[in-house]
Amino acid sequence: MKSTIGHRICYGLARAFLAPPLNRFGFRAPVISRYDSVQLYVQDRLSTISEFRSLFSPFVTFKNKTVLDLGCSSGYLLDGFLSQEPFNAIGVDISAEVLMRGREQYGDRIQFVQSTPTTIPMPSASVDIVYTMDTVEHLSRPREIFLEIARVLKPGGLALVHFGPFRNPYGSHMEDIIPFPWPHILFSMTTLREVAACLYDSPNYSAACYSRDEKTGQKKPNPYLDAAVWETFLNHMSIRRFNHLCDELPLRKVHQERIGFGGRTFKISRLIRGLAKVPLLDDFFCKALYTVLQKPEVAPAVRCRVTPPAVPAA
């Protein structure tokens, strides 16, 4: 790790929030957290099913529809929704590894499809609903993927988009190893990655469940050493950048809301949830941006330039 003042401060803060007494205020709980096992991580994600259903229900029901989960991982959220109502479930992810696990666990009731950074290999106008949870910030080519969402949706179909803006407290996606809030606002992502790489190799650091081999429990190779991977892992999507993207899409914005903190991690965070709706502060205090986009029932007419007939020469 580089021995600069910034690196030393970041490293010291991270170490302080990983150990008592400050670990009670960090994003990684001091006793048991979702980072400690894959089962706990999935359980934590499934506990949000009712929250998502309450967000979706004013606009659509999944029942008897064709529903596509973009960024499905192994499909556990789709399976959770299927336990509530029947529908034709399609899980799409860019990772062949998680799709393989999904087929092993849920292949009898979920169709899995591997995407690319720019394509969703599904027929045009074949899906009633596309939803995506905490995935938009990881798209390396977001415009192309949202054009694909518009293509695969049937006329009148809906896209339900939920993600955390980059500048919120969790925006670095390193809260399991650098657990103090807004680290990416205080330090560059390069500094965070280098500090995380040093902490990861420390014998006292207990790696998160997704950084350990499921069979042996041993740490995987240091995931913070590959700068190129981290450059594509986050696209730094802000609320304003996302809305600018929406304005360029052949989709109509039906609804959008900035969701403040609900106090699941820290009860005191409820006191600042109103800041999610304050202009200029919303990016920093918005836990998630939820947007409903709709494909028009009829495609807009294409304006063509008509050349008038030639007038015969006298």
With a cut of 70, say whether residue 312 has pLDDT above it. Answer: no
Numbered ranges of CATH 3.40.50.150 in the chain: 33-171+238-295
- Element spanning 123, H or E: none
Distances, alpha carbon 259 to alpha carbons 219, 275, 292, 312, in Å: 35, 10, 14, 66
Classified as helix, coil or strand, 255 is strand
With a cut of 50, say whether residue 314 has pLDDT above it. Answer: no
CATH second-level architecture of 33-171+238-295? 3-Layer(aba) Sandwich (3.40)
Query: Residue 21: is the preceding peptide bond cis (ω within 30°)?
Result: yes
pLDDT of residue 311: 46
Provide the residue type at 111 as one letter: Q
The CA distance from 227 to 220, in Å, is 17
The CA distance from 158 to 296, in Å, is 10
Q: What is the spatial order of strands in the sheet that 127-133 belongs to?
A: 110-114, 88-93, 66-70, 127-133, 153-163, 288-294, 252-259
Please write the tens of the pLDDT for every residue from 54-86. 999 999 999 999 999 999 999 999 999 999 999
pTM of the model: 0.90
With a cut of 70, say whether residue 92 has pLDDT above it. Answer: yes
The CA distance from 126 to 1, in Å, is 50
| Average pLDDT rounded to a whole number, residues 190-211 | 91
pLDDT of residue 215: 80
pLDDT of residue 268: 67
Contacts of 244 by beta carbon, 8 Å cutoff, 6+ apart: none
pLDDT category at 110 given cuts 50, 70, 90 is very high
Which of 28-37, 131-140, 144-153, 167-176 is least confident? 28-37
Question: What proportion of the chain, given as a percentage, has pLDDT over 70?
Answer: 90
Closest CA to 35 of 222, 210, 182: 210
The CA distance from 126 to 111, in Å, is 14
Strands 252-259 and 288-294: antiparallel
The CA distance from 252 to 263, in Å, is 32
